[in-house]
Amino acid sequence: MPDIDIKRAHDLGLAAARAAADRMADDLRRKFGLSGDWRGNTLHFERPGITGKLEVAEAAVHITATLGFLMKAMKPSIEKAVMGELDRLVAPRPATGAKKLATKPSAKPVTPKTGSKPRR
């Protein structure tokens, strides 16, 4: 069972998601000294204390990693870095040219109706 297991949906399509995964892998390579190779649409990566893979699909990316004993202490910072990279690279982009819809206040304010008189 992996120590890190993160999935993110995206709307990039396979080619753009793979390009984003390449950029992310480059950044994580610099930060954590990871090396890896692509086998199909899966990037297998490793370094002493970490082994894992990044699977890229048409509508999602999935990262799993197993941490060695000493690296488990760094799990929160590793997860934070990976999630930040994923959010930055595959987060849905807002539609361009979309207009913000204005909300109109209701014509009449709604007030609660009470049919009883207060008791004395």
Q: What is the mean pLDDT of residues 63-81?
A: 91
Question: Where do the domains of the chain lie, and which CATH numbers do they carry?
Answer: 4-90 (3.30.310.50)
Copy the structure tokens of residue 29. Answer: 């390579």
Q: Is residue 117 predicted with pLDDT exceeding 90?
A: no
Q: Is residue 97 predicted with pLDDT exceeding 70?
A: no
Output the pLDDT for position 100: 44
Q: Is residue 110 predicted with pLDDT exceeding 60?
A: no
Copy the structure tokens of residue 45. Answer: 């990566």
As a whole-number percent, the residues of the chain with pLDDT over 70 amount to 75
Output the pLDDT for position 118: 54
